[in-house]
C-alpha cells in the first residue's frame, strides 16, 4: 500500500500541482500591468518613471515569462524586455504589419528622443503652444499603428512646425517621417509567417515564482505591499474556526437524519425530512443570509475588533458568538442537506444487499442489523467524502464572508480578485489545489481503513 | 432502432410517474418562454405602434439594428403621443429609469397614470422597475445555465468518450503520426490563431468577428489535412509506420484531475480577475470550462463497460471504423446519465451566475440579472422587495432543475424497474 501511495504522489499529485501552477501562471500573463497601481500605492502622487522602473525590476517584469516561447521570426529574442503595455502593443502591431524589427525600433527610438526634446524645459515661452501641441501629437504617434492615421498625424505635426521659428523641430519630424517611410519600403511581412522558437532557460518569471513558492515565499501583495504569507495566516483564523464548527455540526446532524430517513423509508417522517432537505439544498445561502440581515436577525456590520481585555480563546469566542451564530447556520445547512441526502441514499443501497437479508434470517434484531451491519457499511462513501472537506476548511465561503463582514480567506480572495492582486491570487489558488489533492490522498487512506477488503495495487 | 425507442419511451413513462418532476419540467418550460420573449414582455418600446401616421415596430427595429451592429437611438416611447399602440405586458425596460417613481414598494401608492403603468414588483432606488428586471433576469439565468452546460456537455462527452472508449491501449497511430500530429497542432495554432490574432481581435462587428474566426478554423482544418496526408505518405516507409499506443485515458484523466484540483468558484474568480469584468458570454464559457469534468467522468465510466459489450464487438467485426463505432454506437448508449448531470449542472450554474452578479463581477447590467437585483437589495436593507423576488426566483428555478434531475435519476435507474 505504501508503494501505491508513493506512486500516486509522484506520478499523480506532483504533476497535477505543477500543471495547475503553469495554468494559473500563464493565464495571468494577460493581466494588466500592475506597476502603476503599485507605484501609486507606495509613492502616491510622487510616483515617477524612476520608481516605476525600480518596481518593474523588483517584479522581474523584464524577464521572459516561461522557459521557452514560440512566436514568429520578426521578434527579437529580447522583445520581452519592453514591459510597458502602452509601448508593447503598438510595437507588436507594427511588427505584425511590416515585420522588420530594426527599422521599427529605429523609428520608435526616434519618436522617443523627439519626445525628450519636446519635454525639455524651454527658456523662451513664445513657442509654448506649439510645443505642447506637438507633444500630444507625438504621444499619439507612439500609439498609432495604422498607416493612414500615422501619415495624418505626421502631416498635421509638420503644419504646426511650419509656423514656429524653430527649424530643428521640423528637422526632427522629417527624420521621423523618413524612418517611417523606411519601414514601409523595407517591409518584410512574410517573416510573420515563419515560426521561431526561443529558449530562455531557468531565468524566467515562472521559474522564479515556483522556486520561491517551494521555499514558502509567496511574494508581496500588490495592494498592501505586505508579505502574502503573513496576510494569509491572519485571514485563515476566522475561516478555519467557522468552517470547522460548521463541518462538524453538519456531520453530527446529517448522519442521524440520513439514517432515520432511510430506516423509515416511505413514511411521513422520511417524506418530511426529504422535502425540507431538498428545499435547503436548493436554497441559495447568500440569499438566506441577506434575508436574515434584512429582517433584522443578524448584525450586518461584521466582527467587531477584539477588546484587549479578553485574553483566552474561549473568551474571545463567546464574545463573538452572537455574531457567529447566523454565519455558522448559513454555512452549515447546504453541507447538511447534501450530506444527509447522501447518507440516506447510501443506507438504502446497503439495506438492499444480500448480507442484510442473511442477518435478518439469522434472527438478529433490527437494531443490531442497522447499527452493526448497515450503518458501518453505509458510512464508507461518507467517510471518503471527508477528504473533500480539507480545501473547504481553508477556503471559506466568499459570499457569506462578504455578507457577514467576516475577515476571512473568502473575503481576502475576493478583494485580491477585485484589485488584480495576483501574488495573493496565485498563493491562494495554489494552496487550495494542494489541499484538494492532499484531500484526495486522505480519502484514499480513509477508504482503505474503513473497508479492509480494499487493497491498493496498481 | 425499435429497442432504443422503447427504452426512451420507458424512461418517459417512468419520469411521468414522478409528479414533482413533471410539474418542475412545466415550470421550467414556462420560465424558458418568459426568458425567450423577455423583450416582448418587459420593454419600454412598444410592440406595434402608429406614430405620426406611420406604422412601426420598435422592438423588431431594435433587433434589426442589433444584427447590423448599429446602436438604436433613444426615443422616449413611454411619453410619446401615439395614435395606436400595443405595449408589452410590463411597459418598462430594466435599463431605463422611471424618474418620478423611486424607491416604491409593490404595495405603496405609486405616482402612475393607470394600473397599466404600475410597478408590480416595486422600484429600485434609481427608478428601475423590478418586474422588468425579473423577466430579463430569467433570460440571463436560463441562458447561462443552459449554454454553460451545453459547452460542458460538448467538452465532457468528447473527452470522456475518448478516454473511456479508447482507454490506454486502443488508439494507435504510426510512429510518424505520433510525431507529426503534435507538431501540426502547434503549427495550426501558430497560423490559425497566433498570426491572425489582430485580425480576429480588431473585428469591428460580431459578424466580421465570426467571419474571421471561421477563416481561422478553415486554416487549422487545412493544416491538419496536410498533416494527415503527410502521415499517409510517410507510412509507406516501414520504419515510420510502426504502430505506437496513445495513452488517451491517462492524458485525459490527468486533465480532469487538474481541473478538479482547483475549487470551482476560485477557478471562476481567477478567470474573472483576468477579464476585468466578465460579460455574460464569458461567464457561460467559464462555467462550461469548469464544469465539464463531472460529465466526462460519467461518460468515461459508462463507456468502460459499454465498450466490451457484444454489440460493440459486432460493430467492430462488421468493419466499421473505430471512430464511427464510438460516435454512432458507443456514446449514444452512454448518454442518458449525462441528462442527470446536465440538469443538476444547470441548477448549479444558475446559482453561480447569481453569485457572480451578486459579487458585482459580471458586466451584465445590474438590474437585468437576479443576482444583480439581490446585490441592490443588499446595499439597502430596508428595500425588502429587492431581495425577496429575485431570491425566490433563483430558489424556484434551482429547485425545479434539481427536481428534474432527481426525477431523471429515478427514471433512468434500472434497479427501480418494476
Q: Tens digits of per-residue pLDDT, B61-83?
A: 888 888 877 788 888 887 888 88
Q: Among A274-288, B2-16, B203-217, B345-359, where is mean pLDDT lowest? A: B2-16
The answer to whether the predicted template modeling score (pTM) of the entire model surpasses 0.95 is no
CA–CA min distance B368, chain A (Å): 17
Q: For residue B418, what pLDDT is reported? A: 41
Contacts of B346 in chain A (CB under 8 A): none
A385 touches chain B (CB under 8 A): no
The residue among A20, A97, A287, A391 with the most chain B CBs within 10 A of its CB, best to mutate, is A287
CA–CA min distance A284, chain B (Å): 7
Query: Which secondary-structure segment (H or E) carries A72?
Result: strand A68-72
| pLDDT over 60 at B265, yes or no | yes
Decide if B271 and A283 are in contact by the 8 Å CB cutoff.
no
Decide if B374 and A300 are in contact by the 8 Å CB cutoff.
no
d(CA B258, CA B148): 20
CB half-sphere exposure, A395, CA atoms < 13 A: 24
A290 touches chain B (CB under 8 A): yes
Q: For residue B383, what pLDDT is reported? A: 81
Q: Which position has the higher pLDDT, A183 or A165?
A: A183
Decide if B262 and A402 are in contact by the 8 Å CB cutoff.
no
Decide if B381 and A279 are in contact by the 8 Å CB cutoff.
no
The residue among B264, B270, B282 with the most chain A CBs within 10 A of its CB, best to mutate, is B270
A45-60 pLDDT, tens digit each: 777 777 878 888 877 7
DSSP E strands: which ranges in B52-207? 54-56, 84-86, 172-174
Confidence of residue A307 (pLDDT cuts 50, 70, 90): very low
Q: For residue B5, what pLDDT is reported? A: 57
Indicate the residue of B195, B270, B398 with minimum beta-carbon distance to A429. Answer: B270
Which architecture does CATH list for A228-450? Orthogonal Bundle (1.10)
Indicate the residue of A281, A417, A433 with minimum beta-carbon distance to B272. Answer: A417
Confidence of residue B1 (pLDDT cuts 50, 70, 90): very low
Q: Among A49-63, A298-312, B364-378, where is mean pLDDT lowest? A: A298-312
Query: Which secondary-structure segment (H or E) carries B180?
Result: helix B175-189
Q: For residue A415, what pLDDT is reported? A: 87
Decide if B274 and A28 are in contact by the 8 Å CB cutoff.
yes
ipTM of this complex prediction, to 2 decimal places? 0.79
Region B230-239 average pLDDT: 88
The residue among A33, A85, A286, A351 with the most chain B CBs within 10 A of its CB, best to mutate, is A286
CA–CA min distance B111, chain A (Å): 26
| pLDDT over 50 at A447, yes or no | yes
Nearest Cα residue in chain A from B396: A282
d(CA B69, CA B204): 9
Nearest Cα residue in chain A from B356: A399
Grid look-up 501619415 returns A151
Which of B335, B310, B286 lies closest to B147 in space, CA to CA? B286
Confidence of residue A297 (pLDDT cuts 50, 70, 90): low
A260 touches chain B (CB under 8 A): no
d(CA B103, CA A204): 55
Contacts of A418 in chain B (CB under 8 A): 273, 361
Q: For residue A308, what pLDDT is reported? A: 45
| pLDDT over 90 at A44, yes or no | no
Buried/exposed A203-212: b ≥16 CB within 10 Å, e otherwise: ebbbbebbee
Region B270-286 average pLDDT: 80
d(CA B141, CA B32): 10
User: Angle of helix A128-143 relative to helix A147-163, nearest 10 degrees?
Assistant: 170
CA–CA min distance A170, chain B (Å): 33
Q: CA B181 → CA A405, B176, B321, distances in Å? A: 53, 8, 20
> Residue B190, Cβ neighbours under 10 Å: how many?
20
Region A407-427 average pLDDT: 85
| pLDDT over 90 at B55, yes or no | no
Start-to-end C-alpha separation, chain B: 23
By CB neighbour count within 10 A (0-12 exposed, 13-18 middle, 19+ buried), where does A121 fall? exposed
Nearest Cα residue in chain A from B357: A399
Q: Which of residues 156-195 of A touch B (CB under 8 A)?
A: 192-193, 195
Number of H-type helices and E-type strands within chain B: 17, 5
Q: CA A422 → CA A24, A26, A28, A31, A214, distances in Å? A: 10, 12, 8, 9, 17
Residue contacts between A and B (CB atoms, under 8 Å): 130
Q: For residue A301, what pLDDT is reported? A: 53
Q: What are the backbone angles phi and psi of residue A23, rounded to the nearest 5°?
A: -55, -50
C-alpha dihedral over A293, A298, A300, A305, to 10 degrees? -170
Q: Among A12-21, B132-141, B262-271, where is mean pLDDT lowest? A: B262-271
CA–CA min distance A114, chain B (Å): 29
A164: DSSP letter: S
A111 in Cβ contact with A180 (< 8 Å): no
Nearest Cα residue in chain B from A392: B263
Q: Which residues contact A287 (CB under 8 A, 6 or more apart)?
A: B374, B387, B390, B391, B394, B395
The residue among B266, B373, B392, B409 with the most chain A CBs within 10 A of its CB, best to mutate, is B266
Which of A442, A436, A430 lies closest to A217 in space, CA to CA? A430
Decide if A72 and B194 are in contact by the 8 Å CB cutoff.
yes
Q: What pairs with residue B173 in β-bridges?
A: B244
d(CA A240, CA A412): 14
Strands B54-56 and B84-86: unpaired
Q: For residue B154, what pLDDT is reported? A: 94
Contacts of A284 in chain B (CB under 8 A): 351, 354-355, 391, 394-395, 398
Region A318-324 average pLDDT: 71
Amino acid at each position: 500500500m505504501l508503494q501505491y501511495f508513493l506512486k500516486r504522489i509522484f506520478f499523480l499529485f506532483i504533476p497535477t500541482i505543477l500543471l495547475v501552477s503553469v495554468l494559473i501562471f500563464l493565464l495571468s500573463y494577460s493581466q494588466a500591468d500592475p506597476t502603476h497601481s503599485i507605484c501609486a500605492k507606495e509613492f502616491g502622487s510622487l510616483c515617477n518613471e524612476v520608481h516605476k522602473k525600480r518596481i518593474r525590476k523588483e517584479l522581474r517584469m523584464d524577464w521572459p515569462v516561461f522557459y521557452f516561447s514560440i512566436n514568429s521570426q520578426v521578434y527579437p529574442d529580447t522583445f520581452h524586455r519592453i514591459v510597458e503595455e502602452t509601448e508593447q502593443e503598438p510595437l507588436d502591431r507594427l511588427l505584425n504589419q511590416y515585420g522588420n524589427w530594426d527599422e521599427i525600433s529605429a523609428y520608435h527610438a526616434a519618436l522617443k528622443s523627439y519626445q525628450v526634446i519636446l519635454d525639455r524645459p524651454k527658456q523662451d515661452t513664445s513657442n509654448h503652444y506649439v510645443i505642447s501641441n506637438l507633444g500630444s501629437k507625438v504621444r499619439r504617434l507612439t500609439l498609432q499603428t495604422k498607416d493612414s492615421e500615422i501619415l495624418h498625424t505626421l502631416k498635421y505635426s509638420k503644419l504646426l512646425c511650419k509656423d514656429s521659428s524653430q527649424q530643428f523641430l521640423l528637422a526632427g519630424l522629417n527624420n521621423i517621417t523618413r524612418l517611417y517611410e523606411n519601414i514601409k519600403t523595407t517591409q518584410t511581412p512574410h517573416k510573420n509567417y515563419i515560426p521561431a522558437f526561443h529558449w530562455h532557460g531557468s531565468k524566467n518569471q515562472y521559474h522564479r515564482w515556483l522556486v520561491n513558492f517551494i521555499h514558502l515565499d509567496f511574494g508581496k501583495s500588490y495592494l498592501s505591499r505586505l508579505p502574502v504569507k503573513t496576510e494569509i495566516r491572519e485571514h485563515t483564523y476566522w475561516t478555519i474556526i467557522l468552517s470547522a464548527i460548521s463541518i462538524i455540526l453538519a456531520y453530527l446532524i446529517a448522519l442521524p437524519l440520513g439514517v432515520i430517513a432511510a430506516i423509515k423509508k416511505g413514511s411521513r417522517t422520511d417524506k418530511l425530512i426529504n422535502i425540507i432537505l431538498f428545499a435547503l439544498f436548493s436554497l441559495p445561502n447568500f440569499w438566506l443570509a441577506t434575508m436574515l440581515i434584512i429582517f433584522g436577525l443578524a448584525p450586518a456590520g461584521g466582527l467587531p475588533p477584539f477588546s484587549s481585555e479578553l485574553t483566552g480563546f474561549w473568551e474571545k469566542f463567546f464574545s463573538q458568538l452572537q455574531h457567529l451564530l447566523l454565519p455558522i447556520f448559513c454555512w452549515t445547512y447546504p453541507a447538511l442537506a447534501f450530506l444527509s441526502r447522501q447518507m440516506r441514499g447510501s443506507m438504502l443501497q446497503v439495506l438492499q444487499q444480500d448480507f442484510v437479508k442473511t442477518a435478518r434470517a439469522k434472527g438478529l434484531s433490527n437494531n443490531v442489523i442497522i447499527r452493526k451491519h448497515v450503518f458501518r457499511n453505509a458510512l464508507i462513501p461518507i467517510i471518503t467524502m471527508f477528504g473533500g472537506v480539507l480545501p473547504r476548511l481553508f477556503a471559506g465561503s466568499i459570499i457569506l464572508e462578504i455578507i457577514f463582514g467576516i475577515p476571512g480567506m473568502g473575503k481576502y480572495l475576493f478583494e485580491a480578485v477585485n484589485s488584480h492582486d495576483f501574488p495573493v491570487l496565485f498563493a491562494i489558488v495554489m494552496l487550495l489545489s494542494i489541499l484538494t489533492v492532499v484531500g484526495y490522498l486522505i480519502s484514499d487512506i480513509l477508504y482503505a481503513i474503513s473497508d479492509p477488503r480494499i487493497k491498493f495495487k496498481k | 432502432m425499435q429497442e432504443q425507442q422503447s427504452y426512451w419511451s420507458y424512461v418517459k413513462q417512468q419520469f411521468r410517474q414522478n409528479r414533482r418532476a413533471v410539474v418542475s419540467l412545466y415550470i421550467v418550460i414556462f420560465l424558458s418562454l418568459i426568458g425567450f420573449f423577455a423583450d416582448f414582455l418587459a420593454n419600454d418600446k412598444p410592440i406595434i405602434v402608429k406614430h405620426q401616421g406611420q406604422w412601426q415596430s420598435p422592438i423588431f427595429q431594435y433587433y434589426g439594428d442589433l444584427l447590423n451592429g448599429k446602436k438604436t437611438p433613444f426615443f422616449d416611447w413611454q411619453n410619446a403621443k401615439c395614435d395606436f399602440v400595443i405595449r408589452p405586458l410590463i411597459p418598462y425596460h430594466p435599463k431605463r429609469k422611471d424618474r418620478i417613481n423611486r424607491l416604491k414598494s409593490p404595495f405603496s401608492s405609486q405616482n402612475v397614470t393607470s394600473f397599466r403603468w404600475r410597478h408590480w414588483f416595486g422600484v429600485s432606488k434609481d427608478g428601475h422597475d423590478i418586474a422588468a428586471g425579473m423577466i430579463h433576469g430569467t433570460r440571463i439565468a436560463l441562458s447561462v445555465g443552459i449554454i454553460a452546460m451545453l459547452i460542458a456537455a460538448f467538452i465532457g462527452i468528447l473527452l470522456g468518450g475518448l478516454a473511456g472508449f479508447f482507454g490506454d491501449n486502443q488508439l494507435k497511430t504510426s510512429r510518424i503520426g505520433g510525431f507529426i500530429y503534435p507538431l501540426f497542432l502547434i503549427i495550426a495554432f501558430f497560423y490559425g490563431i497566433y498570426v491572425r490574432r489582430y485580425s480576429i481581435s480588431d473585428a469591428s462587428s460580431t459578424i466580421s468577428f465570426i467571419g474571421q474566426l471561421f477563416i481561422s478554423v478553415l486554416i487549422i482544418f487545412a493544416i491538419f489535412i496536410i498533416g494527415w496526408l503527410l502521415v499517409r505518405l510517410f507510412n509507406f516507409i516501414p520504419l515510420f509506420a510502426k504502430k505506437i499506443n496513445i495513452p488517451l485515458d491517462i492524458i485525459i484523466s490527468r486533465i480532469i484531475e487538474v481541473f478538479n484540483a482547483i475549487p470551482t468558484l476560485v477557478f471562476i474568480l481567477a478567470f474573472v480577475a483576468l477579464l476585468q469584468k466578465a460579460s455574460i458570454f464569458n461567464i457561460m464559457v467559464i462555467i462550461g470550462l469548469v464544469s465539464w469534468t463531472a460529465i466526462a467522468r460519467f461518460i468515461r465510466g459508462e463507456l468502460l463497460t459499454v465498450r466490451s459489450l457484444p454489440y460493440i464487438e459486432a460493430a467492430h467485426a462488421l468493419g466499421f471504423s473505430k471512430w464511427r463505432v464510438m460516435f454512432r454506437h458507443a456514446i449514444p448508449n452512454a448518454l442518458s446519465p449525462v441528462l442527470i448531470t446536465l440538469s443538476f449542472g444547470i441548477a448549479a450554474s444558475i446559482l453561480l451566475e447569481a453569485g457572480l452578479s451578486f459579487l458585482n463581477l459580471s458586466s451584465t447590467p445590474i438590474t437585468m440579472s437576479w443576482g444583480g437585483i439581490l446585490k441592490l437589495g443588499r446595499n439597502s436593507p430596508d428595500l425588502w422587495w429587492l431581495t425577496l423576488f429575485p431570491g425566490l426566483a433563483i430558489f424556484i428555478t434551482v429547485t425545479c432543475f434539481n427536481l428534474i434531475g432527481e426525477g431523471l435519476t429515478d427514471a433512468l435507474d434500472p434497479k427501480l424497474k418494476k
